[in-house]
A = this chain, B = another copy of it.
């Protein structure tokens, strides 16, 4: 409790927190440092969400966290690195959720993924931060690069691991494209009737398409893909 109170004070204070009896000074400093770091991260996520990558500034992130801008640089480095750390927090629930999916093969994977994806996006607590990262990625090349790396390594790679096909990365990306498109049209653009469709109806309609990408033939029934 007292540690959290100390952490809520400006950085000038937290850099030298009041020493508590029976505790080494280094432990207090480490705790205060972690509290300041957490405040900066929370402020960064709010700043990127509100203003997007382009308009966000280290100065404003520092102000929101009640620390000196130098401390933001000290903990995170450049604006790009602050964005990456903030995006990682926003992606964490999705990445952890994908890690928890049943470790079986592709059977039923389509429905499992659609259900998981809609679950993350239907929940405003996980939707808002993801939306913020997506918006930044679509309007700024630096943010796009970080987003691309994060989606590829932390989300899609976890799904690809469950497939055996040599073209598994492409399969997962086409499945992801279906869900990304739904997220954009339903949650970002609010296109009706998709925006108001019942989630269970969407699970039923989307699962076969996603399953097709993950485990179906690579071309139309009875045909080989012409290009590859």
Taking Cβ atoms with an 8 Å cutoff, the residues of A that contact B are: 52, 111, 134-135, 137-139, 144, 147-148, 151-152, 169-170, 173-174, 176-182, 184-186, 188-194, 197-209, 212-213, 216-221, 223-228
Contacts and interface: CB of A to CB of B under 8 A. Distances in A.
A205 B213 contact: yes
Contact of A227 (B52, B144, B191, B199): B199
Given A178-B178, A190-B148, A227 B204 contact: yes
7 contacts: A169-B193, A170-B205, A178-B178, A180-B180, A184-B184, A198-B228, A205-B213
A208 B212 contact: yes
B144 A139 contact: no
A119 to B, nearest CB: 14
A11 to B, nearest CB: 32
Contacts of A137: 189
Given A147-B189, A188-B144, A227-B204, A197 B176 contact: no
A120 B204 CA distance: 30
A33 to B, nearest CB: 35
A204 B220 contact: yes
A181 B209 CA distance: 13
Identify the 7 closest CB pairs spanning chains A and B, nearest first. Answer: A181-B181, A200-B227, A177-B181, A198-B227, A201-B227, A204-B219, A204-B225
A45 B3 CA distance: 55
Contact of A170 (B169, B197, B224): B197
A218 B192 CA distance: 17
